[in-house]
Amino acid sequence: MSAQVAVPSTKGQLKGWHALLWFAGFFGFMFVVNGIFLWTAITTFPGEDTEKSYAVGLDYNREIMRRAHQAEAGWGAEIGLTGSVPQLHIRLTQANGDALPVSGTRLQLRHPANRALDRVVELTPVGGGEYTASLETLPLGTWSVQFSADVDPAADGDEFKASREIIIP
């Protein structure tokens, strides 16, 4: 009888360089995925939601007083869409329901996801505290309407502000 000695097979054994490749591949994949996430985050979010946010924060007490004055005076705005071609209508009222006389208006439409789509829209006075604007060139979707009006021309800034979310179907 002859004695046979079993020789260990090296087939299928995990060696050091195999572990190194698995380790490098795993972390390489993580770096690529994180790089894609980082690039997407930087290119799609501008960082600030409001222009000059630091100055707005410093002026916050004045904004609180303006809101209190607007609520105390009973000023209100009705903002809505009408027609098959989107038409924005705004009606400004005083506490007694009469039209609120203003010397100037400003309307900004803001897209919730893309600041490049934001635009200032020209309002046409209809009379009786009502204003209208055509939105036919506006892309479909949700928009934030930010309206401001100058009630007292002698005072600095806009004393009346109103906002509303609209959906262009």
pLDDT (tens digit per residue) in 33-90: 999 999 998 887 766 667 777 888 888 998 899 899 999 989 999 999 988 888 899 9
Computed on alpha carbons and rounded to an integer, the radius of gyration of the chain in Å comes to: 31
> What integer is the mean pLDDT of 98-103?
88
Distance CA 75, CA 99 (A): 9
Question: Residue 131's pLDDT is what?
Answer: 92
| Average pLDDT of every residue of the chain | 87
pLDDT category, 12, cuts 50, 70, 90? confident
Parallel, antiparallel, or unpaired for β 87-93 and 104-110? Answer: unpaired
> Is residue 91 within 8 Å of 78, Cβ to Cβ?
yes
Taken in order 39, 43, 44, 47, the sign of the CA dihedral is: positive
